Amino acid sequence: MVNRVTVLGSLNVDHIMQIKRLPLPGETMTMTDKQIAGGGKGANQAIAAARSGARTAFIGKIGADEQGKLMRTYLEDAKIDTSSVTLADAETGQAFILLQENGENSILVLGGANQALTATDIEAAKPKIKDSDFLITQFETPIEQAIKAFAYAKENGVVTILNPAPAKRVPKELLENVDLIVLNETETEILTGIKVVEEDTWRAAAEKLAKLGVQNTIITLGSKGAYYKTIEAEGFIKAFKVTAVDTTAAGDTFLGALSSQLDRDLTNIAEAIVFASMASALAVQKIGAIPSIPRLETVNEALGSATDY
């Protein structure tokens, strides 16, 4: 059965500046190269879900500019329903990515049209949310609209997935309607106050999140892998060993791919994480966010020939 995934999120045009290392304060450096590509956490996650086989829809805002046209084209090329992607009186969101030789990145985001999402947009998208198996959001659009969308989703039996990035305080009104939270080490520490370095701390962080109202957690641990704890199960999935070129969309690819494979009751979470981990491993071997996200057949082929598992 094909999962129906709706993503409420951001659409950004990425400006990728390739450098040897981060500059020191006051230092002027020469870039080794630069590129422009589609991105934004919401767009990345939606395209990852669609390319992994999910029937995907998007709720978001773009500007009436060439960059907005570019982002809509990216979504439409991935066969994503863009009927809830509307125009804002602001420029399309942008991200400026400092990509180091070791594959690590630092990102500056200009929200633009992403911050213009309103309650009216959520109201108009309610039929789309209701028709979904999963609703995903992040924090690159107004959190007030995420609260409204997740409350409506829960009223209608839709499974909600929160990616609290960029990390910030999460209101209780949102957490109480989150079925699954997917977050990295930094986000985990900011939300729980627990530095995740080993299994005991992973578990402690998940238990803290459960006390805050979220019973199902996946903590992504970079090159180590991913830890998960649900109401029914707990485990760790090691990462596939690859040489990273650009980690920009790693987490977003993981989440989108996960949503395409996950059962609504989360009983296949370990298998879905393995699939998502491979999708992420493939993505980090190419430069750019959306251009690096693999397709279903590529992920399955890689899994079939993997020797790690």
As annotated, the active-site residues are 252
Q: Does 246 appear as a known binding residue?
A: yes
Q: Does 248 appear as a known binding residue?
A: yes
Q: Does 40 appear as a known binding residue?
A: yes
Residue 268 Cα distances to 49, 96, 230, 261, angstroms: 17, 37, 11, 8
Q: Does 65 appear as a known binding residue?
A: no
Q: Does 108 appear as a known binding residue?
A: no
Q: Does 304 appear as a known binding residue?
A: no
Output phi, psi for 62, to 5 deg: -135, 165
Name every residue whose Cβ is closer than 8 Å to that of residue 240 and which is 6 or more positions away in sequence. 277, 278, 281, 306, 308
Q: Does 43 appear as a known binding residue?
A: yes
Q: Does 222 appear as a known binding residue?
A: yes
Which long-range contacts link 186-191 to residues 24+ away (Cβ below 8 Å)?
A: 188/219, 191/164, 191/167
Q: Does 225 appear as a known binding residue?
A: yes
Give the full edge-to-edge strand order of the sheet including 55-63.
81-88, 55-63, 4-8, 134-137, 159-162, 180-184, 217-220, 225-229, 234-238
Binding residues for substrate: 12-14, 40-44, 140, 252
Binding residues for ATP: 184, 220-225, 251-252
Binding residues: 12-14, 40-44, 140, 184, 220-225, 246, 248, 251-252, 283, 286, 288, 292
Binding residues for K(+): 246, 248, 283, 286, 288, 292
